[in-house]
A and B are shown apart, each in its own frame.
Chain A
Amino acid sequence: MFTSSRGPGPLIALLLAMLPAALFWATPLQAAQPLRLVLQWEHQAQFAGYYVAQELGYYAEEGLQVEIVPGGPAIDAPTLVENGEADFCSAMLAPVLARQAEIPATAERGLVLLLQLINRSTLTLVAWKNGADGHSPIHTAADLDDRRVSLWPAFATAYHQFFARQGVRPQVVPQHYSLSLFLRRGVDACSAMLYNEYHSLLQQGVSRDELTLFDFHALGFYLPEDGLYCRRGFYQQQPQRCAAFARASLRGWQTARQQPQLALDLVMRQVEAANLPVNRAHMAWMLQQVLQAIFAPDDQAWPTGRLRPADYTGAGTLLGLSGRLPSYDAFVTPEARHGLH
């Protein structure tokens, strides 16, 4: 689900970082308190724009005091926002929709979308070109039939739709936080984010020409990913504030696009402070890929920061949640509908 190149690294700092969050879990938020943004995973370049907005004072310019809290394997960011323990969160559309499908469409605790950052899907399926055993090539989706494939549960539905469309029935096993099974050739193919796991594979000695990459976006599966969410109730109470927050955040992302080195430095600062086992080269790749997924190469591809209705519906279909989701207007705030000004 939420993955990073999760190698072992001292997570002591991580636990320590969680302590202040634990203190705040008990008490509901007050309007005068700093706004808390919880990230969907541990600090990494995936959240560069927020670091930039924070560091360069964009939140402050909007009159906001913001606290950025990392996620992790034990933390479910949307849940924290739902509970009111955080004001905003960064999360992927798929798990958020999955959750929204289970609660009333207009519940106050439901999440609304403030900013659709990653519009271009980065979800992929990575396969051994010659199969796990080295003798059974996988060049096309058709070759996936009856092959062992590990999939992230959060995207399982989407993958199955993909398989169904290709007319293949692979043997699916769940995939968690590491690529060890794939590396050990325990499966023929695995889930990977283009900006993360794919590059991790490369960094662990797998060369590009050993792999067959099934790029969902390229294959016509449009599933937007990272977005900025807040609680519906909170939005209804303080729409201006939420808009301001979204605005500043998007500005941060725009600056990150213009000054990637600065953004990268800020990312590495967070990473090193948290003593996370990631290297700069990986963060650089991640930043580059994320920026490409946020900002369209031209205006025709997608509007930056906004979720199109068709994409919302399509996502629902891909995830098999059609009919159970809130309406577009109920889920997508005007900011994410029309853009920020």
Chain B
Amino acid sequence: MAFIKRSLFLRLALLILGGAGLVLLALISLNHFDMRRQLLADQRQLYHALADAAAARFDLNLQQVQQVVEEAAILFAHQPRTRLGAVNLLEQMLRRHPELYGSAIALAPQQDTVDAGFRILYSWRTTDGISTIDRSNPQQDYQSDWFYLPEQLRRPVWTDPYFDADVQTLMVTYCVPVLVDDQLVAVITGDLSLAGLRQRLGALELGSQGQPMLVSQFGRIILHPRPNWEHRETLHSLIEAAASDRDRASLEQLRNALRQPEGGLRFLQIGNERPAWLYFATANLTGWKIGFIIPEQQILAPVVVLAIKTTLISLAGLLLLLLPAFTIARTITRPLQKLCGCAEQLAGGNFAAPLPTERRSDEIGRLIDAFGQMRVDLQNHIQQLTATTAEKEKIASELAIARDIQHSILPKLFPPFPQRAGLDLYALLESAREVGGDLYDFALLDDDRLYLCIGDVSGKGVPASLFMAVGKTLLKSTMQTLQDPARTLEHVNNELAQGNDSCMFITAFCALFDLRSRELLYANAGHNPPVIIEEGQTRLLEAASCPPLAALEGLSYHNQRLTLADGARLLLYTDGVTEAMNPQQQLFGEARLCQLLQSQPARTAEGCVSSIARAIRQFANGAEQSDDITLLCLSYRDHAAAGETCGHNSQSPTSLLVLTNHLSELPRLVAWLEELHRKLAWPLEVLQQLNLVLEEWLVNVISYAFDDTQLHEIELRLWHRPDQIRLEVCDDGRPFDPTAQPEPDLSLPIEQRPIGGLGLHFILNSLDEVRYQRQGGRNQVCFVKQLTTTVNS
């Protein structure tokens, strides 16, 4: 019954119908059973009364006959016994008493019949009137009960029903002995015909199926619905002949009940076993039981009719209930349905869908009002939200622009100074938000002096970024003017501290690096001490810590000096690195930073910075970046001798490529050469040759030059002139002079030749010139390729 679950209307209607219906049914049922009981009782009383009435009427009849015959007996006793007199008497009796069927005067056998002129006279009622006869067989009559009984009993008596042959009638007779001087003189009788009895009983209102029953005082069945029982069976013979135990039980029940003077009982009819009721009473004068057998069906008929009426009324009532049930259900579900439609419209964006118009003050009405209010509020809310979102987007877009601007003021081109060979510098800034307070800066003040700076504005976001922009610009311009880190810091501090209402400050580290002397001149304004990586050892550059910038005017700062060894690396960073936190609230820390730098020495500044950034990311393990991460890594390798081998001391190479000693770097070589080929318009064959040569050489170097598993750098420098290309390849592997190798024995078959050598042979023969120098623990090989003056087509 899923559809009931889905319909409030149906549920309500059924509930109302069910509830009210149940109550209705209960009431009607109670009433019905009450009435049924009453009806049955009434019916029983009716039939009881009928039986009583029938018995009483029967008794009345008998009474009348008794009276008549007794009176006649008295009369006859005192009148002379003549035929005429007797006939008159008889006929008078019959005339005066229509209930009498017949009457006889029988002289006793020993009486003198000659004088009397008769022996036994009999008068009875015929269709024509009254007939009188002499009985045909007096001997037989004297032996009949109607004479014999009063003769022997010497008192009036009612006979049992019998068949009189003379008149061919079943009758019952009241016979009165006429006793004179204690001698039986005659017997006078009065007959009641059974047919007449049956008629009178049948006239009673017994309903369509009720039938009378007469049982004699000795249990003989006189009248019964079953004619073949009449005059044949007795209550006992029926029991004797019972076909089944049930029949026997039923008959015994009847017999026992009929021993009482009156009563009523329910029994199962013989044969068809349909229930019937017997109500009976006793006709006291004969002791006969007069009863009525009513099939239960008839007794219950009015009850059945009642039941049908009751059912119909119930059904009608239920049907009528349908109307209010549905109406009530509808008054609830209809506005709900409307509201539902309205809500759907609302979900689709239509705020104007009409609400149910009914004005009600009940729950539904309150729901409708609440819904309307909700709709208005929703509209307002959406409007507010739209406005807020628009503003937020405006701010976000402005922030984005600000971020771009901020990023654009930081130098981002790497490598920044390719013309200064050996100067490896890389910086990275990852802001926590769109705009941040970290800064870094670097610039070549002149050919030999490099300005470095890193700083961190207190706070985050737009205020810090503004301060950062000011600070960065100020630092650079001041340094360019003053060319002294400490003085620069002092000046910038004073400038920033002026009018610094927001109490922001900048920690800064700024330095000047002399490329010739390798001297670093630096000053630190409260910033994290940089890390020096030298000879595989890391140490922090502890500076006398001076306060940050912009906090107080008039502060003084001091310079410090340091000489960076060749190949040493300097790492500047902000506290976003060391104070990077993981989900367990642990800090990255200087120790971890130093340990990282020590254990994974990168070959390039970019590699160093990248690996630190990666390590921080790994450490953070998904935790949100709380502060800007800024890293700047610098290393200077003096390659003054670089290019000597190639005879181009003074000239910086056209291009520099640094590879690590891994075969996977070769594509970079190829790309580099391609780029140069495109830019410098080499002939294709030149490119191809260079490709082959360099590849061959580099494979050799990568494969054989190094004993360890460390990363090594291989530097390739290229000088381009219109007439020639010079390539210098430097590595710090085992010494290997390509020019000093023996010529391969080309005459030997392949199997017999020692490995290697052929490639070298090829290189040497492909190029116009190959020179070798070992200097500073490094192999320096120079390849020269002449370009033909003929211009490539």
| Interface membership of B152, Cβ < 8 A | yes
User: Contacting chain A: which of B142-150, B319-327, B419-427?
Assistant: B142-150
| Inter-chain contact A279/B233, CB cutoff 8 Å | yes
Given contacts A183-B218, A204-B218, contact A8 B163 (CB under 8 A): yes
**Residue A7 contacts which of B157, B162, B238, B240 (CB distance < 8 angstroms)?**
B162
| Inter-chain contact A15/B165, CB cutoff 8 Å | yes
**Residue A74 contacts which of B137, B145, B163, B236 (CB distance < 8 angstroms)?**
B137
| Interface membership of A181, Cβ < 8 A | yes
| Interface membership of B79, Cβ < 8 A | no
**Residue A279 contacts which of B148, B160, B232 (CB distance < 8 angstroms)?**
B232
| Interface membership of B170, Cβ < 8 A | yes
Within 8 A of A (CB), among B204-259: 218-220, 231-238, 240-241
Which of B218, B219, B235 has the most chain A CB within a 10 Å cutoff?
B218
| Interface membership of A186, Cβ < 8 A | yes
Within 8 A of B (CB), among A58-112: 73-74
| A96 → chain B closest CB, angstroms | 21
| Interface membership of A281, Cβ < 8 A | yes
Give the distance in Å from the alpha carbon of A203 to the alpha carbon of B231 in the complex: 13
Give the distance in Å from the alpha carbon of A95 to the alpha carbon of B162 in the complex: 27
| Inter-chain contact B236/A10, CB cutoff 8 Å | no
| Inter-chain contact A9/B231, CB cutoff 8 Å | yes
Which of B143, B149, B152, B237 has the most chain A CB within a 10 Å cutoff?
B237
Q: Could you say which interface size class chain A belongs to?
A: 20 to 34
| Interface membership of A134, Cβ < 8 A | no
| Interface membership of B203, Cβ < 8 A | no
Given contacts A8-B161, A178-B145, A181-B149, contact A281 B237 (CB under 8 A): yes
| Interface membership of B168, Cβ < 8 A | yes
Given contacts A186-B152, A205-B235, contact A180 B143 (CB under 8 A): no
| Inter-chain contact A205/B219, CB cutoff 8 Å | yes
List of B residues within 8 angstroms of A203 by Cβ: 219, 234, 236-237, 240
List of B residues within 8 angstroms of A280 by Cβ: 241
Within 8 A of B (CB), among A99-131: none
Give the distance in Å from the alpha carbon of A277 to the alpha carbon of B236 in the complex: 15
List of A residues within 8 angstroms of B137 by Cβ: 74
Which residue on B lies nearest to A178, using beta carbons? B145
| Interface membership of B159, Cβ < 8 A | yes
| Inter-chain contact A176/B220, CB cutoff 8 Å | no
| Inter-chain contact A8/B234, CB cutoff 8 Å | no
List of B residues within 8 angstroms of A176 by Cβ: 143-144, 148
| Interface membership of B127, Cβ < 8 A | no
| Interface membership of A165, Cβ < 8 A | no
Give the distance in Å from the alpha carbon of A177 to the alpha carbon of B146 in the complex: 12
| Interface membership of B140, Cβ < 8 A | yes
List of B residues within 8 angstroms of A194 by Cβ: none
Within 8 A of A (CB), among B123-150: 137, 140, 143-145, 148-149
Given contacts A186-B153, A279-B232, contact A204 B220 (CB under 8 A): yes
Give the distance in Å from the alpha carbon of A187 to the alpha carbon of B148 in the complex: 12
List of A residues within 8 angstroms of B232 by Cβ: 7, 9, 277-279
| Interface membership of A43, Cβ < 8 A | no
| Inter-chain contact A204/B219, CB cutoff 8 Å | yes
| Inter-chain contact A10/B163, CB cutoff 8 Å | yes
Within 8 A of B (CB), among A161-191: 173, 176-178, 180-181, 183-184, 186-187
Which residue on A lies nearest to B143, using beta carbons? A176
| Inter-chain contact A181/B153, CB cutoff 8 Å | yes
Give the distance in Å from the alpha carbon of A12 to the alpha carbon of B167 in the complex: 11
Given contacts A180-B145, A184-B157, contact A7 B220 (CB under 8 A): yes
List of A residues within 8 angstroms of B153 by Cβ: 181, 184, 186
List of A residues within 8 angstroms of B220 by Cβ: 7, 204
Give the distance in Å from the alpha carbon of A177 to the alpha carbon of B234 in the complex: 18
| A297 → chain B closest CB, angstroms | 24
| Interface membership of A231, Cβ < 8 A | no
Give the distance in Å from the alpha carbon of A170 to the alpha carbon of B190 in the complex: 33
Give the distance in Å from the alpha carbon of A280 to the alpha carbon of B233 in the complex: 9
List of A residues within 8 angstroms of B159 by Cβ: 180
List of A residues within 8 angstroms of B233 by Cβ: 279
| Inter-chain contact A204/B236, CB cutoff 8 Å | yes
| Inter-chain contact A180/B168, CB cutoff 8 Å | no
Give the distance in Å from the alpha carbon of A203 to the alpha carbon of B148 in the complex: 22
Q: Could you say which interface size class chain B belongs to?
A: 20 to 34
| Interface membership of A282, Cβ < 8 A | yes
Within 8 A of B (CB), among A1-44: 7-12, 15
Which residue on B lies nearest to A9, using beta carbons? B231
| Interface membership of A142, Cβ < 8 A | no
| Inter-chain contact B149/A205, CB cutoff 8 Å | no
| B685 → chain A closest CB, angstroms | 142
| B593 → chain A closest CB, angstroms | 129
List of B residues within 8 angstroms of A181 by Cβ: 148-149, 152-153
| Inter-chain contact A180/B231, CB cutoff 8 Å | no
Give the distance in Å from the alpha carbon of A10 to the alpha carbon of B240 in the complex: 24
**Residue A73 contacts which of B140, B218, B240 (CB distance < 8 angstroms)?**
B140
Give the distance in Å from the alpha carbon of A173 to the alpha carbon of B238 in the complex: 32
Give the distance in Å from the alpha carbon of A203 to the alpha carbon of B233 in the complex: 9
| A108 → chain B closest CB, angstroms | 29
Give the distance in Å from the alpha carbon of A12 to the alpha carbon of B169 in the complex: 10
| B775 → chain A closest CB, angstroms | 152
Give the distance in Å from the alpha carbon of A12 to the alpha carbon of B237 in the complex: 24
Give the distance in Å from the alpha carbon of A282 to the alpha carbon of B220 in the complex: 13
| Inter-chain contact A11/B163, CB cutoff 8 Å | yes
**Residue B231 contacts which of A7, A186, A205 (CB distance < 8 angstroms)?**
A7
| Interface membership of A218, Cβ < 8 A | no
Given contacts A173-B152, A205-B236, contact A11 B219 (CB under 8 A): no
| Inter-chain contact B160/A180, CB cutoff 8 Å | yes
Give the distance in Å from the alpha carbon of A8 to the alpha carbon of B162 in the complex: 4
| Interface membership of A56, Cβ < 8 A | no
List of B residues within 8 angstroms of A177 by Cβ: 143-144
Give the distance in Å from the alpha carbon of A278 to the alpha carbon of B240 in the complex: 13
Which residue on B lies nearest to A278, using beta carbons? B232
| Interface membership of A202, Cβ < 8 A | yes
Give the distance in Å from the alpha carbon of A281 to the alpha carbon of B247 in the complex: 15
| Inter-chain contact A204/B163, CB cutoff 8 Å | no
Which residue on A lies nearest to B153, using beta carbons? A186
List of B residues within 8 angstroms of A204 by Cβ: 218-220, 234, 236
| Inter-chain contact A74/B237, CB cutoff 8 Å | no
List of A residues within 8 angstroms of B237 by Cβ: 203, 279, 281-282
Which residue on B lies nearest to A148, using beta carbons? B152
| Inter-chain contact A7/B236, CB cutoff 8 Å | no
Given contacts A15-B165, A203-B236, contact A8 B160 (CB under 8 A): yes
Give the distance in Å from the alpha carbon of A284 to the alpha carbon of B241 in the complex: 9
List of B residues within 8 angstroms of A279 by Cβ: 232-234, 237, 241
List of A residues within 8 angstroms of B231 by Cβ: 7-9, 277
List of B residues within 8 angstroms of A184 by Cβ: 149, 153, 157
List of A residues within 8 angstroms of B161 by Cβ: 7-8
List of A residues within 8 angstroms of B236 by Cβ: 202-205
Which residue on B lies nearest to A179, using beta carbons? B218
List of A residues within 8 angstroms of B163 by Cβ: 8-11
| A44 → chain B closest CB, angstroms | 13
A265-282 CB mask vs B (1 if < 8 Å, else 0) is: 000000000000111111
**Residue B149 contacts which of A9, A12, A180 (CB distance < 8 angstroms)?**
A180
List of B residues within 8 angstroms of A11 by Cβ: 163, 165
**Residue A205 contacts which of B140, B144, B170, B234 (CB distance < 8 angstroms)?**
B234
If A178-B145, A278-B232, A281-B238 are given as contacts, then 11 extra A-B residue pairs at C-beta distance below 8 Å, sorted by A number, are: A7-B232, A8-B163, A9-B231, A11-B165, A150-B152, A178-B148, A180-B159, A181-B149, A183-B218, A184-B157, A204-B234
Give 10 CB contacts A-B under 8 Å.
Answer: A8-B164, A8-B170, A15-B165, A73-B140, A180-B145, A203-B240, A277-B232, A279-B237, A281-B237, A284-B240
- Closest 10 pairs (CB-CB, A-B): A8-B162, A281-B240, A8-B163, A176-B143, A204-B218, A281-B241, A279-B237, A205-B219, A277-B231, A281-B237
Q: Which residues of B contact A (CB under 8 A)?
A: 137, 140, 143-145, 148-149, 152-153, 157, 159-165, 168, 170, 218-220, 231-238, 240-241
